[in-house]
């Protein structure tokens, strides 16, 4: 998605055309939206992996651009800040939102070289996403191995005990049925316990994520209030 101000937008349109020529799927507001603008912007952010933040003075002053960028930040989308105005330095909420990120300056660099940097940032975000999936997969395998080690015998003494129990099963069918029922009950209880732990972890993660989003939004509002304090007219 390309997030930009319609003032001085030629370079943003050129970036869009070059991306689509390379078979990238890109959302951009070319004509200027009307009607339920905020809802359209929100849907576009949700459906995008990366957001190109086209930084300029007009972008910083636009309340729509600010809402769009902050919503993308809250949804943890990959933000790629690019400078499309010569000599512009981000300030206020825009500086806070892009702090610590690598800028791609289309004003100081040849267009093709700057564009290649943008493509590199997009590719890097995809690689990071795959690495995160791989880490999660490895973690799940590790947990599965731990569960198996808890359910299966791990020593020679346990193996001998298990063989002894099997022999007794063959001699006593009633004990076999009882032992089998106990094993099944124990396994079901173990699975139920694991499911409860997973649900509890999911709930805690959602609460932590909501708290972080609230804190970041509060910090942004405080910074905006500090940079642009409200004007209070003295009563006559």
CB atoms within 10 A of CB 224: 15
Q: Are 98 and 121 in contact (CB under 8 A)?
A: no
Least confident of 56-60, 166-170, 201-205: 166-170
* Of the options 3.40.50.300, 3.40.1260.20, 3.40.50.10140, 3.20.20.80, the CATH number for the domain spanning 2-126: 3.40.50.10140
Q: Which residue in this structure is represented by tokens 């590199």?
A: 120
Average pLDDT of the segment spanning 66-84:
94
Tokens 């390379």, located at residue: 22
- Please provide the size of the chain in residues: 236
Query: What pTM does this model have?
Result: 0.54
Interatomic CA distance for residues 44 and 53, integer angstroms:
14
Pinpoint the residues of the chain covered by CATH 3.40.50.10140.
Answer: 2-126
Highest mean pLDDT among 65-69, 148-152, 204-208 belongs to: 65-69
- Rounded Cα gap, residues 100 and 103, in angstroms: 9
- List beta partners, residue 78: 50
Q: Which residue has the tokens 């002053």?
A: 61
Where is mean pLDDT largest: 74-78, 126-130, 147-151? 74-78
Which is higher by pLDDT, 207 or 5?
5
């Amino acid at each position: 998605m390309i997030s930009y101000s319609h003032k001085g937008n030629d370079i943003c349109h050129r970036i869009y055309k070059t991306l689509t020529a390379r078979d990238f799927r890109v959302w951009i507001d070319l004509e200027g939206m009307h009607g339920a603008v905020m809802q359209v912007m929100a849907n576009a952010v949700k459906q995008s992996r990366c957001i190109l933040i086209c930084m300029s003075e007009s972008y910083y002053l636009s309340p729509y651009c600010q809402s769009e960028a902050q919503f993308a930040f809250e949804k943890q989308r990959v933000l790629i800040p690019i400078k499309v105005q010569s000599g512009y330095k981000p300030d206020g909420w825009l500086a806070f939102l892009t702090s610590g990120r690598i800028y791609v300056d289309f004003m100081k660099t040849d267009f093709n070289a700057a564009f290649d940097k943008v493509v590199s940032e997009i590719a890097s975000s995809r690689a990071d996403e795959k690495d995160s999936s791989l880490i999660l997969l490895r973690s799940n395998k590790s947990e599965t191995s731990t569960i198996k080690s808890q359910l299966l015998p791990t020593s020679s003494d346990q193996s001998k005990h298990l063989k002894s129990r099997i022999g007794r099963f063959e001699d006593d069918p009633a004990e076999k049925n009882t032992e089998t029922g106990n094993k099944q009950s124990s396994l079901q209880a173990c699975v139920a316990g694991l499911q409860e732990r997973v649900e509890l972890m999911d709930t805690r993660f959602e609460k932590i994520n909501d708290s972080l989003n609230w804190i970041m939004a509060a910090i942004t509002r405080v910074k905006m209030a500090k940079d642009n304090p409200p004007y209070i007219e003295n009563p006559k």
